[in-house]
Structure 1
Amino acid sequence: MKKVSVITVNYNQPQVTETLLKSIAEHNKYPALQIIVVDNGSLVNPVPDWHEKYPGHSFLRLETNRGFAGGNNEGIKLADGDYIFFVNNDTEFTEGLVESLVTLLDQHPQIGMISPKIRYFDQPDIIQYAGFTPMEYHTARNKCIGELEPDKGQYDYSTGKTGFIHGAAMMVRRSAMEKAGLMFESFFLYYEEMDWCERIRNLGFEIWLDPRALIYHKESVSVGKKSALKEYFMNRNRILFIRRNAPLLSKYTFYAYFAAVVFPRNLLRYMFEGRYDLAKQLVRAVKWNLSHNKDSTELGYPVHKIK
């Protein structure tokens, strides 16, 4: 039996993380499971309390917020599983989740990464993710399959290759991870798992969806208000993803598209709406890409302001 290491990252949400741990205890029947929780520099350190509550789990406290990639990368250092299952702390397990994913990885050695079907926790019959279409590099756009559709089993026979895994729940084969290296931490938020997908796929592995496996995600169905943090990293990382992964001709097509369409359109909209804070972050995101190489680890954003 292959060992599975479950890694989740906590940031100022100890109760949410504890609910996940309770969910795993209630629904998981897979015996060879290691659970690792990384605290990403929360304002109040929950780890001492967790050591007492959950003596069988592994906990790691980071003193600063290292982002999604950084927190998970540190968790990998404690993992000894053959397969590493990265789950957001705001997810909840269902019965058979781990077993289903492991079975496909065991049966198909070409799979490097695999995600289950994801439904919204607050609307449990609504799909969040049933795969991704391939990336359109000229515009840096792709589509999340099944998003916001009622789940009537329409994707339950879609097991197989997909464009990308979903960062909220992704199981990775250790051998693929060791060949590709860890997630690129400079992304910090957004696009890091897609960049990782591309690197693993370029090594000859496949990216799969298992719609028979299900996890619930507490992300809201409604789109939240835009923030300076999101505006900066979504734009910075969208450009950075293309710089790191797109073919040469597609890169220049995207640059032209972004410069001629996306940047002026969004900038004018933010100015018209009086969202000068978002306009500033859009400009900052573009400037970062103009002044830093694609392998730079400089975030260009004051991390101490991320609460």
Structure 2
Amino acid sequence: MATDLQARGTGAVNTAHEQAGGVAAVVITYNPDGEVLPRLLDRCAAQVARIIVVDNGTTAVDVPALCRPFVARCPITFVPLGTNLGIAAAQNRGIEVAKAAGAEYVLLLDHDSVPADNMVAALRQADRQLRDAGVEVGAVGAVTHDRRTGTTSKVVRMVHGRVQRLASQTSEPYIEADFLIASGTMIAISVLERHGMMNEGYFIDHVDTEWCLRVKARGMRLFAIPRARLEHALGDHVVRVWLGRWREVPVHSPARDYYMFRNTVRMLLTTPMSLAWRITHVFRLSQFAVFFGLGMSPRLKRIRLMTRGIIDGVKGRGGALVDARPGRGSNR
């Protein structure tokens, strides 16, 4: 059940930011860092009309306690799911709350992301300019900067059958993209109403990719906004490897290998995309199979879960991974 948080010692929720419309930040938490989440909330409190924190069963920290210091600056709604329902389900619950509150846009954020001071203003300005020019905007997204490696993300786009990775450090006001990662992406509620929300069957991994492909197939366009910056961290840690080119690869737990392989196969079978993107996704899976299956321990477990992911993807299975073997079972 969604609860409007109150600052300790007060009897009413702050309404200073309440307005019909505006941007609602939907923040998904799962055992967040107790130092990073307050930084995220601090930046959001000054930039959005409402913050909606959807918690996927955190046990390590008291998420409402981390939120309360910011209630006096911005209304915060806390939505505890009680267990880990996956990123897609959590995002959808947050979107529903934002819609009910009268938000015009949602800004999706992971708990390890920290927006720059002007990020939301930059996204709003670009979105407005594009719409005024008659562009069918599906979403606009921030450019991410990895706090651990210092790397700034590139914008990915397929051009004449080849993947282009465009530098995001540019004076251009916006760069058209084929994909936007969910964290730092701003979507109009009207777009979600017309083209659908996140696919909860994916649970985690490729949730944003599938949504982007789906809306692009319906004529919508996606844009990365170079002036909108987001500090972020992908994966448990990052390693730099040669996979056709030098890449910084986020390394996750073996369970995430299952989701990546299952959801890629599901996407290839059910989501509209160009032949070039289908070939690219198949090639990428083969690279990951070699890199993670042979180069990252525990190798046998990773290979087993990758194989199971492929089989379940072909069968169209979704939801959380449940390992039926005795003493096993994890979604992380």
Q: Which residue of 1 aligns with 2:265?
A: 239
Q: Which residue of 2 aligns with 1:21?
A: 41
5+ residue gaps, structure 2? 1-19, 240-248
**1:117 Cα deviation from its structure 2 partner:** 1.6
Q: Which has the higher helix share?
A: 1
**1:130 touches 1:211 (CA, 8 Å); kept in 2?**
no
Cα gap change, 1:134 to 1:75, in 2 (>3 Å): same
Measured in 2, the distance between the counterparts of 1:98 and 1:186 equals 29
Kindly provide the amino acid, as one letter, of the partner of residue 104 in structure 1. Answer: A
**1:288 Cα deviation from its structure 2 partner:** 0.5
State the SS of the aligned residue for 2:78: strand
State the SS of the aligned residue for 1:200: helix
| Aligned alpha-carbon RMSD (Å) | 3.5
Measured in 2, the distance between the counterparts of 1:89 and 1:272 equals 26
Give 4+ residue runs of structure 1 displaced > 6 Å after superposition. Answer: 248-255, 271-274
Kindly provide the amino acid, as one letter, of the partner of residue 203 in structure 1. Answer: R
Which residue of 231, 235, 255 maps to 1:216?
231
**1:288 touches 1:300 (CA, 8 Å); kept in 2?**
no
**1:157 Cα deviation from its structure 2 partner:** 1.5
Aligned residues: 286
Measured in 2, the distance between the counterparts of 1:275 and 1:179 equals 43
Q: Which has the higher strand share?
A: 2
Q: Which residue of 2 aligns with 1:173?
A: 188
Measured in 2, the distance between the counterparts of 1:290 and 1:106 equals 41
Cα gap change, 1:211 to 1:249, in 2 (>3 Å): closer
Q: Which residue of 2 aligns with 1:33?
A: 49
The structure, 1 or 2, with the larger RCO (C-alpha pairs under 8 Å, 6+ apart) is 1
Measured in 2, the distance between the counterparts of 1:18 and 1:86 equals 16
Measured in 1, the distance between the counterparts of 2:253 and 2:78 equals 31
Q: TM-score, structure 2 length as denominator?
A: 0.74
**2:293 touches 2:300 (CA, 8 Å); kept in 1?**
no
Cα gap change, 1:234 to 1:24, in 2 (>3 Å): same
Which residue of 58, 66, 76 maps to 1:42?
58
Q: Which residue of 2 aligns with 1:111?
A: 137
Measured in 2, the distance between the counterparts of 1:167 and 1:5 equals 15
Measured in 2, the distance between the counterparts of 1:9 and 1:204 equals 28
**2:126 touches 2:173 (CA, 8 Å); kept in 1?**
no
Cα deviation, 1:205-264, whole Å, max 9, x if unaligned, reads 211111011111134553454531121111111111211224597799789x67xx9399
Which residue of 82, 85, 94 maps to 2:104?
82
Cα gap change, 1:289 to 1:156, in 2 (>3 Å): same
Cα gap change, 1:75 to 1:136, in 2 (>3 Å): farther
5+ residue gaps, structure 1? none
Measured in 1, the distance between the counterparts of 2:106 and 2:305 equals 34
Q: Which residue of 2 aligns with 1:163?
A: 178
Q: Which residue of 2 aligns with 1:283?
A: 307
Q: Does 1:67 align with 2:92?
A: no
**1:20 Cα deviation from its structure 2 partner:** 1.1
